[in-house]
Structure 1
Amino acid sequence: MKTILVVLDGLNYEVAEATMGYLQAECAQGNGQLYQLTCELPSLSRPLYECILTGVTPVKSGVVHNGVNRLSRERSVFHYAREAGLTTAAAAYHWVSELYNRSPWQPARDRHTVDAALPIQYGHFYYDDGYPDSHLFEDAESLRLRHNPDFLLIHPMNIDDAGHKFGLSTPQYRNRARMADGYLSHWMPGWLEAGYQVLVTADHGMNDDRSHGGILPEETSVPLFVFGQAFSLQMDAAPLQTELCGTLCELLGVDHDKPLCPELLARREAE
């Protein structure tokens, strides 16, 4: 099944639960379910992009801080999808391009990617943390309409940016989460109507020191919303961040060797 993964960078679970009215409304109508995840450590961005997309913890992957500037040594959902002949795309921060396409990232070459031979075949990658989320979602929809990807990653940064500037317990941070929810309300109904399975999660949370990286619950507790007919919507499922890659591969119907959370997925009737 075609699948979209939205990673709302830096979104704390409690803020997501309280502010994302559209996503909560879809859940209340029986179209989705919200789960609470604990992110892996350290609770930093590049290590957790790697964790979400490969299922490997930072210490094992070696991507243990944001300055690890090299290609991933692991197999990601992009690699599994491409090996199965599927089409991949991403509208994301440039570290994602560095992990899975080419490193070091060169803006003139890599910012807009069209290359069928790369793990992420089609991409719009940005490098300014203030790059507007509104533009990023439009970039993603452009990729979807132009290239019809089987797997699309959407990764906006403005929630994390607001957290670093103002902190967790601020209207600026909460309102950025509300804005992301608003953008999703604009685009997600069309994705679901087109048959996409949609997951909305975060890499890490945020603290009142305007940072993250440690073990405080507000730094490590993140949301996972799921929408689509492939999901069981079981309230008592307990997915792990390391199980997202394998779960995505199951949704895409591609061979993989990653851990997954079977409780997230609807049981398929035997043929």
Structure 2
Amino acid sequence: MRTIQFREAICEAMSEEMRRDESIYLMGEEVAEYNGAYKASKGMLDEFGPKRVIDTPIAELGFAGIAVGSAMNGNRPIVEFMTFNFSLVGIDQIINNAAKMRQMSAGQFPMPMVFRGPTASAGQLGATHSQAFENWFANTPGLKVVVPSTVYDAKGLLKSAIRDNDPVIFMESEQMYGDKGEVPEGEYTIPLGVADIKREGTDVTIVSFGKIIKEAILAADELAKENISCEIIDLRTVRPMDYDAILNSVKKTN
């Protein structure tokens, strides 16, 4: 095992998948020359070149639409939004096209694409740059929504998202890019739709995802001081949700 940053895990996942499959490419604002707004694509332009790591204009509607058409023609685009607040500009392409095309075409057009980038609050970004839209996207049929809480999960889940034949919304906390964690040296993936028991417990269960898992662990530590055993379930994939993990927890506590 080795220790890397969250942003490095994202970069490794994309790079490894792009080496494996030439139909995969990355596009978004500042992903190439600037190495990504949060440096999550550092070095990728040098390795893969400007045809596979593409800087776009500030036009989310435009490049989200390009990605939809590209996926329909056999490619597997990764679209980075500088922040998911900006995805609202391209939300028509995401919801009315990417999410629905497979169903509307009776399965003739798989939509293997990932929309990824930072979500929710960070330091001094203001109200319009600090919103969390996980629930919006998770209530859209046809989309899968992933929000990792650890460096290990980020890499394994992103690799699975890139390989998936449905559109995946992959949301990364703006406050976690500098987090460090252990990842294996070799290849690994984490299946979508499978929750993780981050902490065993018998008295109470906290179910959450993303950066709030860290707060849940702190809360569980405080409860332990009062002899309250707290289980923590990390959904990891908000849609499809792992209801079996939640129901099993209910059975155990009852």
TM-score (norm 2): 0.37
Which protein is bigger by CA-based radius of gyration?
A: 2
- Greater RCO structure (CA 8 Å; 6+ sep): 1
